[in-house]
Each structure stands twice: as C-alpha cells, then as structure tokens.
A and B are shown apart, each in its own frame.
Chain A
Amino acid sequence: GENVEQHPSTPSVQEGDSAVIKCTYSDSASNYFPWYKQELGKRPQLIIDIRSNVGEKKDQRIAVTLNKTAKHFSLHITETQPEDSAVYFCAASLVSGGYNKLIFGAGTRLAVHP
C-alpha cells in the first residue's frame, strides 16, 4: 500500500523567510496530493492540493510542486508570518471509484518567529 514520508519534522524560521516541507510517496499510481494545515486543537483544513497531471500550483504565498518521476512533492511558503505557525500534513491518494483514501505523512510542526 501507499506510504508517505514527510520532513522536516520541526523546522523553525524567522518571519519573512521562506519555508519548504517535502514529502515522498511510494505508490506511483497515486494521483492526488493535498496539503492540510492544523492549528492547535483544531481540525485539519485544506490549504492547497495538486493532481498528478499538473507540475506546480500556486495560491498567493503558498505553492506546491510535484515530481512524479521521483515520487515527491513539496509545499513552499514565502514571506512567512507568525500565523503560519501550525502543523502541516501532506497526503497522497489514488482517487478512484467515488472515494479518496488519503494516506497522510506524520506532519511538520512549523514555527515562525517574529
């Protein structure tokens, strides 16, 4: 089955710097790669996602890149702000048959210092 590895686990950046979180997946059939942000005590919320037919996607300060050959994808956050401090999860799935079985990475706890 699918396995997703995520790193780094606890990065720390200064406000205004960029942050990059990387994930690798094992199942070459996976075709959907979302990123979720989870604040302390809250539910995970989707911040950006990418499908396997696209190499890069941007939404304001957030971007995701996908390398299908190497089976890895990355989250890029530019001009980080203290409110970006949270746990970020990547996930991978093969969307098929009306369902979407997400396999999550272990999470990255990002700290942005003012």
Chain B
Amino acid sequence: NAGVTQTPKFQVLKTGQSMTLQCAQDMNHNSMYWYRQDPGMGLRLIYYSASEGTTDKGEVPNGYNVSRLNKREFSLRLESAAPSQTSVYFCASSSLGGGKGYEQYFGPGTRLTVT
C-alpha cells in the first residue's frame, strides 16, 4: 500500500500561471481533503469530497477548484496563481464507515512557490 501520494513534490510558478496538484489514495477511502499549511497558521481546509462525485468548500476555497475524478483521485487546480498561494499543500483521505476510526491519512505534501 502506497497510502496517499501527491505529485509534484515541488513546483515554482509565475503569477498568473495555472497548475493542477494531483492526489491519489489506495486505501479505498470515501472522503478526501485538500489543506494548505502556512507558517504559524496550522493546516487550513481548502476543499473536501465526502464521496465520489461530490465536492464542497472548506475554510479557504477562493482561488482554487477541485475535481474528484474517481474514488481514488482528487485534484486541486489553481487557475491563476498568486503569491498569496505560496504554501505547502497536503492531501488527506479517511474512511468513516463500517466501524472504522476517523483518522485522516496525509500525503507527503507539495511545496508550491509563486513568484
């Protein structure tokens, strides 16, 4: 089991460029999440997907879009990158049904710099 994987690991963008961050999980989890982590601010939820075919906004959705491509994959898109989006992005997944715990499993992160 690879768990939660993310690509790319690092990315540098110029202001106004677009890109998609990819996330995949092989744990058969229903729900998936995108967070950003900025120094001194903990992790903040951008978007989440409770199940395949559904997505919803979190705390800080502005400037981002998401796609739940299938049960395994959940992508995050920046249409027009801004310096304020410089951050580390984490994808996570969890399964809340069937008597399992509520733990969210995190991917290794993508470090994004927008100049």
Contact: B50 with A107, CB < 8 Å?
A: no
Query: Is A114 positioned at the interface, with any CB of B under 8 Å from its CB?
Result: no
Contact: B96 with A34, CB < 8 Å?
A: no
Partner of B96, one of A42, A46, A99, A104: A99
Count the A residues whose beta carbon is within 8 Å of the partner chain — how many?
Answer: 25
Known: A34-B103, A49-B102, A97-B50. Contact between A43 and B40, CB under 8 A? no
Query: Is B104 positioned at the interface, with any CB of A under 8 Å from its CB?
Result: yes
Mask, B55-79, CB within 8 Å of A = 1, is: 0101100000000000000000000
Label chain B's interface by main secondary structure: loop
Contact: B104 with A102, CB < 8 Å?
A: yes
Query: Is B43 positioned at the interface, with any CB of A under 8 Å from its CB?
Result: yes
Contact: A100 with B45, CB < 8 Å?
A: no
Q: Enumerate A34-66 residues with CB–CB distance to B below 8 Å.
A: 34, 42-46, 49, 51
Count of inter-chain pairs, beta carbons less than 8 A? 63
Query: Is B97 positioned at the interface, with any CB of A under 8 Å from its CB?
Result: yes
Label chain A's interface by main secondary structure: strand
Contact: B101 with A103, CB < 8 Å?
A: no
Partner of B106, one of A45, A95, A97, A101: A45
Known contacts A99-B50, A100-B96, A107-B42; 5 further A-B pairs (Cβ under 8 A): A43-B106, A49-B102, A98-B50, A98-B51, A102-B45
Contact: B97 with A98, CB < 8 Å?
A: yes
Which residues of chain B have C-beta atoms less than 8 A from A107's C-beta? 40, 42
* Closest 5 pairs (CB-CB, A-B): A104-B42, A99-B50, A43-B106, A104-B43, A98-B50
Known: A34-B102, A100-B104. Contact between A95 and B96, CB under 8 A? yes
Tell me the minimal C-beta distance from A74 to chain B in angstroms.
17
